[in-house]
Chains A and B, each alone.
Chain A
Amino acid sequence: MKNNQKNRHVYWNPYFGGFLLGILILFTFYITGRGLGASGAMKSSVVAIVDVVAPTHAENNAYYSKFVGKDKSPMNTWLVFEALGVLIGAFLSGGLTGRISWRVQHSPKITSKRRLVFALGGGILFGLGAQIARGCTSGAALSGMAVLSTGGFITMLAIFGSGFAFAYFFRKNWI
């Protein structure tokens, strides 16, 4: 227990983590011919919820209708199973190092409420952007770069370029 408390914020060497992640991406391409993803599972969840609540609306909407149909289930996709795995894997890692607890993590200079409001707003922006660019940091940028996709490089540069450009406006939340 004492050992766990001491290790709460001790993370892997970033080059070690990056190396393993790179090997995993390579392995994923070798097995499946495609890369990793994360936002795809959240899109599938939204499509599935809309399909249950308002099935005719889902059929008539030009975007939802791409993913629902007679023999298509929005939740039975590779990315949804992969996202379930991510939750399990992160839970195992957090559990082994004693990092699991209910909390709102924020800078001591701001309130929890402010943190949650910005988290919600940031999520909305990220969700919207990930649909426009057809993938997020994992699916478009990281997996795209592994096969030298032009779009992957452009998305990566746009995400981090814009992050640095907007960082000034959000500095109070972090530093």
Chain B
Amino acid sequence: MGPLIPNGVIPADWDSIIAILIGIVFGFVLESSGFSSSRKLAGIFYGYDFAVLKVFFTAALVSLIGMYYMDYLGYVDVSQMYVHPTYLWGAIIGGIIMGAGFVAGGFCPGTSLCAVAIGKIDAIVYVVGIMIGVFIFSELFFLFQPLYEGSYLGNITVEDSLGVNPYWFIFTITIIAIISFAVSDIIRKRNKKIFY
């Protein structure tokens, strides 16, 4: 039963090899979907290209639905998975700053790595920027510490915080995704085409 490495089915020595293999597939899929192009990525914010919405939302739903199916069929125990912890204000303020960085720079960290790999100089500058951002955060950690460690709610899921049935929640997001895909196609047709 999964997860395989924490449960000792695959020895932990394989960890790094598996990390590289998973990374290769991750990079290949992102680049092939056009995520190495900042102008394609930024399209979501101006309504001329919705690849980010479609890839991101589809990926989230496929993994989410798959996870709960595998849990239901007994292949994994979803409660053993690492749940990203919730620090309420850190998530909100950090997300807002990242959103501004996304629309200013046109990449997020994963996509900028893909663009670096195919020689985009703007992406190399962007990665240097990320490292400067991390450096600023670390050097001024005493300033950010209350935000970074405050409003801790634990490794909670929407099941805990909203009190909803996870299956109905997933079903609802799926409907929202399908509607947003249809709406995004209508918006894109109304906007003038951008070539890049």
| B interface list, Cβ under 8 A from A | 2-6, 10, 15-16, 18-34, 36-40, 42-46, 48, 50-51, 54-64, 66-67, 70, 75-76, 78, 80-88, 90-110, 112-123, 125-139, 141-142, 144-145, 147-148, 153, 155-161, 166, 169-170, 194, 196
Q: How far is the CA of A154 from the CA of B85 in the complex (A)?
A: 11
| Contact of B130 with A50 in the complex, beta carbons under 8 Å | no
- The chain A residue with its CB closest to the CB of B58 is A18
Q: Which applies to chain A's interface (DSSP): helix, strand, loop or mixed?
A: helix
| Contact of A82 with B20 in the complex, beta carbons under 8 Å | yes
Interchain CB contact (< 8 A) of A136 among B81, B109, B137: B109
Interchain CB contact (< 8 A) of A93 among B22, B32, B62, B196: B32
| A interface list, Cβ under 8 A from B | 9, 11-12, 14-15, 17-36, 38-39, 41-43, 45-47, 50, 61-64, 78-79, 81-94, 97, 99-107, 115-116, 118-140, 142-167, 170-171, 173-175
- B153 CB, min distance to chain A CBs, angstroms: 7
Beyond A24-B29, A89-B26, A133-B91, whether A166 also contacts B99 by CB under 8 A is yes
| Contact of A93 with B63 in the complex, beta carbons under 8 Å | no
Interchain CB contact (< 8 A) of A154 among B28, B95, B141: B95
- B178 CB, min distance to chain A CBs, angstroms: 11
| Contact of A78 with B16 in the complex, beta carbons under 8 Å | yes
- A17 CB, min distance to chain B CBs, angstroms: 3
Q: How far is the CA of A81 from the CA of B26 in the complex (A)?
A: 12
